[in-house]
Structure 1
């Protein structure tokens, strides 16, 4: 059932690569801000470079919750 649901939903290149491009842009902004200044730019760099770490943590938590939910339903 899941395979048919996944195949029936069509995705464009924009929807596939939107989030990875946004994360890459955020990292680039953070690195440039860290290299070019102090003060407020340091805060911008910390936030911009910490965001991808937060996204990975969120995705891992969501993935684990999905796996636990599927295991609970099959038992």
Structure 2
């Protein structure tokens, strides 16, 4: 039960860390990776806000 509760928040946190580290360590492909990885939490918040309004 606790794994299923925290699985998605942990995955989003790991993606955020990956995005921040890739943004700090390189250019080119790493910049693209950082943009994608850091867009996931923003998209998750937007989705949660849309679902909550319904």
CA RMSD of aligned residues (A): 0.5
Q: Which has the higher contact order (CA 8 A, sep 6+)?
A: 2
| Correspondent of 1:41 among 23, 30, 34 | 30
TM-score by length of 1: 0.70
Work out the number of aligned pairs and report it. 54
TM-score by length of 2: 0.96
Where does the alignment leave 5 or more consecutive residues of structure 2 unmatched? none
- Runs of 4+ in structure 1 deviating by more than 3 angstroms, as ranges, are none
Where does the alignment leave 5 or more consecutive residues of structure 1 unmatched? 1-11, 66-75
